[in-house]
Every structure is written in C-alpha cells, then in structure tokens.
Amino acid sequence: MARRIGFFICECGPNIGENVDIDAVLNAVEDMDDVVLAARFGLMCSGPGKDFLKANIKTEKLTHLVVAACSPKQHELTFMEVCEDSGINPFLFQLTNIREQVAWVTKDKEEATEKTIRLAKAAIRRVRYHDPLSKTALAVNADVLVIGGGVAGMAAALRLASPERRVHLVERSSSLGGRVVAQGPIYPTMASGGEMATAMVDLVEGNDWIVVHRYSEVSVVVGFFGNFEVVVTGELEDGGTLETKVNVGAGVVATGAEVLEGKPLEDLGHGSIDGVVSSAELEAMLADGSIGGKGGKAPKSVAFVQCVGRDEVGYCSEICCMNSAKQARLLLEAAKGAKVHILYRDLCVPGRDQQAFLEGAVKAGANLVRTTSVEVGGSKGGITVSHSLGDGKAEKLMVDMVVLSPAMVPPTGTEGMAEMLNVELDPSGFLLEAHAKLEPMAAGIDGIYLAGSASGPRSVSDSIVQAEACAGRVLSSLIPGRTIEPEIRVSHILETLCTGCQTCLEVCCYGAIVYDPMKNVSHINAAICRGCGNCVAACPSNAISLYHFTYKQLYQEIVEAIR
C-alpha cells in the first residue's frame, strides 16, 4: 500500500505561530514524496485539534502522521493515541519538536523558519522508514523480595504477604530475628526484645505466603518496578551453592546495621583489659545471667563509655545513649548498690518517651557525666577510666567494669548490594534514600524500598515504622492483576552478525543482556531492556539494532536535517 503521509504543524497559540513562518514551512514540505497533506492548526493538543487530526486522517486516508509541535515529553503520547483511535499504528508517527528547540530559542524568524523546515523534512523522511510495532502487556508481578530477616524485614514481609502476594524473605544467616532477637528488655517499655522478635519469627514461619530463604544472599537483581528478575544464592550444607530464580515486582532492603569493631574499641582496652566489654557483650551477660543471675558476678562500679568510634564514622548512631540508659537500669537492678557512670559527649534522647526513660535511669542511680575524651587503663585494683570534663579539669574513676557503646556501621556487603540494585550509597556507606525528608523509605530507583537500619542506624520502633511505610508503598502501587506496558522500542541482536565479544554486556545499565557460550552470541531480554541504545552504539559488529531507532531511520533523518 502506498504511503500517504499527513504533515501537521501546531501554532501552539502564539508560541510557534508568531516565531515561525508556518506557511513557508507548509510550502516547503508539501511536494515531498508521499506527502498528501500539509496543514496547520492553532492548538493541536486541544480537543478540537485532535478532532481536526482525526478528521483529516479519515478523509485523506493517511497511513503515516508527522506533527511539528512541542517536546515529545509533553505530547508524544497524546498524538500516538490519536493515531491509535484513527486506526494508524502509533509508531507510524513522528513528532518533531519545533517549540522548545526552535520557536523558544531561535530569535530570528527567518532562521527559525529555515530550522523548522529542516526538522519537518527530517521527520517526514524518517517516518517513511518507520515500521509498525505492536505493544505488549505484561502482568505486574505482585510478589515482593525482602532482603534481611531482622525485625524490619519481618515486619514488611508480614504486612505484605497475602494469598495474592508471595514474599521472598532472604536471610544471610541461619535464622531470622536479626539483632533484636538477642536483646533483653528494650526501651522504652522494657518489654523483651528477644520475645518480640521470636514472636515475629513464629508468625513469619507460620505464614504460607512468605518463602524464607535462609543461608542465602541475593546475587542478581535485574528489571524494573513490576518486573524484577532475581537470583537468590543459597549456601548448601555440603559447601555448594544453590541458585533460585525468583520473579518479583518490588523489593524491600532491610539489611540492618552492624556494630563497629576494631581499633576504636581496642584503643579503650577492649580485648586487652579484663572487664572492658562492648554493649552487645553486656547484653548477652545480662541475658544469660552471668551478671546478676545466681552465681553471676555483680560489678560494684561500672563506667559506660559512649560515642566509641563516632569520630571515625562521622555520625551519631542515635540508639546507643538510650541503650546504655536501659543497660544501666538493668545493671542497677541486678547489682544493687553498684555505682554506674555514663560518660557521654552529647546525649541523644529524641522523642516522647526517651527523656523520661533516661531520668528514670538517673533516679535509679546512674551518674551522667559529660566528657570530652576518655582513656581506659588496666591497674591492679580494677580499671582506671581517666576522662576530661571539658573545662581543663580531668577526673579519674576506678571501676571494675567498662561498657563500650560503639557506633553502628553498614553491614558487610552493602557496597555490593548497592551496586547490584543500582542504589546509591551515602558517604558513611549506608544505602541512600531518594529524599531524606519526603521519601526516607524509597531508594533512588522505582520499586526498591529501604527499611530499618539499611539506610542508617535506627531504633526498633523506627525500623518498624519504615517497614510499614515500605509495605504501604508496595500495597498502594503494585496491584495484583494490573498490567504494565513494557518498552517495545528495545534492542535486539542479530545472531548472524554477533561475534560474541560481549562489549554490549559491559555497557548495558539494566543487566538485560546475557551471553550464550554454546552459540557464542549474546541475547537481549526484551522484558528488561529499556531501549537506551548503549549496546547499539557499542556493538562493533552492527549486530544490534533498536526498534524505532534503526540505522536506516536515523540515517534518513540526518540526511534531511543536514542537507
């Protein structure tokens, strides 16, 4: 069938109408091959404008449409819909931008008209080589990947899992529960953290819609919101690994935080002086009864040293002051009459309940001391803690126990996780949220959310708030049964030309390309490809082309534009 191209130029009110000689443009293009109509209209995107297009498509039996108007970002879809409504394949259409790229920027009317003519001719020449493409609908995958089986991950999984939404919960270690499962009473309620976490573990394990992958890590994530392809790599008992492919629509990263180790603690006697313990070690001692329990020790004097490693990491870990206040209260209960000092630099007691809780610790006997620097030394009678009080004065305490409160740091593997998910890292090494205030639980890319300490140290309650927020985002946007239209202007590889050099794999930002060693060629996963064209440009063998941006189409367009 012969091509019958219709060319339409939009005046965009005065925007284009006053800056371009539209009749001159119409004159210039009307004799071009296959152009059967060249017409103008005041505001093409308006109702009457669209009707004008439709009527002309019908009466002139147009097969291809070229509109010279605004940015494709603004109205490409509008006119593609007009095509669809009129029975023209929407890809037999080309929009050329003569507003942002001509009328608004080229002051000289003659020059602007000349430029418009070139762009119009280029678009007309290009559209002659367009191929019809058919849209495909892809059902969204409502399932969700949750990485990390601590309280944040479990809370998100529990909120999300339902008969129509399976949750894959991936946990690196042998068991769920994260750091909280090892906690005794937690502030401010002094209810048992361990019991709370264990109760959640029971709920997760009893939930038919949550698939727990233990001893496992996520090794590959490719795709986009609604359609992620994930590989979960599990460690087997015999030392081998098992790769499980999982498809999900969204992901929640709840990888938590770790406690700082090493030099900052060692400098304060940890590992070399008896009686110097970390707050986590004290928690374990309180839990197993080695302090305060029957036959347990009862220290007579204890110094908590706060902010250990804070200078090194460069941030306040938020939860340690309250944790020490809690541990001080427990110690004072377990070892009646003990002297408890909390040496702090700055107190971090935000929120409604925290201050009252801290005052409770003081009332119970804890001695809050503000200090600027602390040194810990071993001596015969116990441990010496020398610290300065800021105004040049120094103080020396003799204690038989020192509890170090180290900073919280990103867990090992965070960098790899960030790279795999394409999520940015904050300078301290935690995962970076999309917006600190407006979207603290969203990662920078669609469909990936951050819960709990993955994006910075957080208390249990804040972690759960975030987990619920992540779940809310998923529940409100990833609706089972909905479809998404994957990009169809994607790349494909011609096997006969592909040399298997794998350059395309290196430049693909979406992980959409795989190499087939048997055939010695690469393949593009069309459901993952976003049509950026990187591979097309990088392929030295001309084996890759991008639908709707073929070599021929671009060549023809350029020929006319630079004539």
Partner 1 sequence: MKEGYKGLGVLMDAPDGPNAAIREMLRKGHERGACDAILVPMKVPSGDSYMHVLVDDVEMLDRAAPISPVLTVQGARAVTSLTRRGDEGVCIAAVMRPCEAEAVIELRKLFQVDLEHITIITMDSPGTVPLQDFARDPEEGERVFAEALATWDDSAMRPICQTCEKSNSAVGDLHLGLRGVQTGKVLLIPQGEKGLEAIAKLGLTPDHPIDEWKQASDKAMARKRGTRKANHEDLRKRASGLSGLLDLLGACINCHNCMRVCPICYCKQCKFDSPELRNTSSDYLDRADRSGSLRMPSDMLLFHMGRMSHMVLSCVSCGACEDACPTGVPVAQLFSLVAHDAQERFEYMPGRSSEEKRPLVTFEFEEFSEVED
The least CB distance from residue 401 to partner 1, in Å, is 49
Given the complex with partner 1, which of 192 and 503 has the nearer CB atom?
503
Q: Please report the DSSP string for 416-461 in residue order.
A: HHHHHHT--B-TTSSBPEEETTTEEEEESSTTEEE-GGGGS---HH
Residue for token pair 């050329």? 96
Our finding on whether 373 is near partner 1 (CB under 8 A) is: no
Given the complex with partner 1, which of 125 and 310 has the nearer CB atom?
125
Angle at which helices 354-363 and 320-334 cross, to 10°? 30
Our finding on whether 199 is near partner 1 (CB under 8 A) is: no
The least CB distance from residue 551 to partner 1, in Å, is 6
Our finding on whether 440 is near partner 1 (CB under 8 A) is: no
Given the complex with partner 1, which of 99 and 128 has the nearer CB atom?
128
The least CB distance from residue 213 to partner 1, in Å, is 32
Our finding on whether 46 is near partner 1 (CB under 8 A) is: no
Given the complex with partner 1, which of 284 and 538 has the nearer CB atom?
538
Candidates 191, 199, 356, 559; binder of partner 1 (CB under 8 A) is 559
The least CB distance from residue 500 to partner 1, in Å, is 6
Given the complex with partner 1, which of 38 and 539 has the nearer CB atom?
539
What amino acid is encoded at 81 in this protein?
E
The least CB distance from residue 82 to partner 1, in Å, is 31
The least CB distance from residue 495 to partner 1, in Å, is 10
Number of residues counted as binding partner 1 (CB under 8 A): 18
Given the complex with partner 1, which of 372 and 499 has the nearer CB atom?
499
Cα 318 to Cα 348: distance, rounded to the nearest angstrom: 6
The least CB distance from residue 329 to partner 1, in Å, is 50
Our finding on whether 101 is near partner 1 (CB under 8 A) is: no
Residue for token pair 């906690």? 183
Given the complex with partner 1, which of 467 and 493 has the nearer CB atom?
493
Q: What are phi and psi of 343, to 5 degrees?
A: -90, 110
The least CB distance from residue 113 to partner 1, in Å, is 21
The least CB distance from residue 560 to partner 1, in Å, is 9
Torsion of CA 467, 468, 474, 475, to 10 degrees: 160
Given the complex with partner 1, which of 191 and 509 has the nearer CB atom?
509
Given a contact cutoff of 8 angstroms between Cβ atoms, the answer to whether 168 and 248 are in contact is yes
CA-angle at 176, arms to 170 and 179, nearest 5°: 110
Cα 286 to Cα 547: distance, rounded to the nearest angstrom: 65
The least CB distance from residue 125 to partner 1, in Å, is 10
Cα 549 to Cα 558: distance, rounded to the nearest angstrom: 12
Residues 446-505 that bind partner 1 (CB under 8 A): 496-503
Cα 29 to Cα 121: distance, rounded to the nearest angstrom: 6
Residues 521-550 that bind partner 1 (CB under 8 A): 538, 540-542
Residues 499-518 that bind partner 1 (CB under 8 A): 499-503, 506-507
> What does each C-alpha distance from 245 to 221, 242, 482 come to in angstroms?
10, 10, 22
Burial of 505: CB neighbours in 10 Å, binned 0-12, 13-18, 19+: middle
Given the complex with partner 1, which of 22 and 521 has the nearer CB atom?
521
What amino acid is encoded at 14 in this protein?
P
Given the complex with partner 1, which of 501 and 527 has the nearer CB atom?
501
Burial per residue of 10-46, b for 16 or more beta-carbon CB atoms within 10 angstroms, e otherwise:
bbbeebbbebbbbeebbebbeebeebbbbebbebbbe
Our finding on whether 422 is near partner 1 (CB under 8 A) is: no
Given a contact cutoff of 8 angstroms between Cβ atoms, the answer to whether 535 and 101 are in contact is no
Q: Which residues form the interface with partner 1 (CB under 8 A)?
A: 496-503, 506-507, 538, 540-542, 551-552, 559, 563
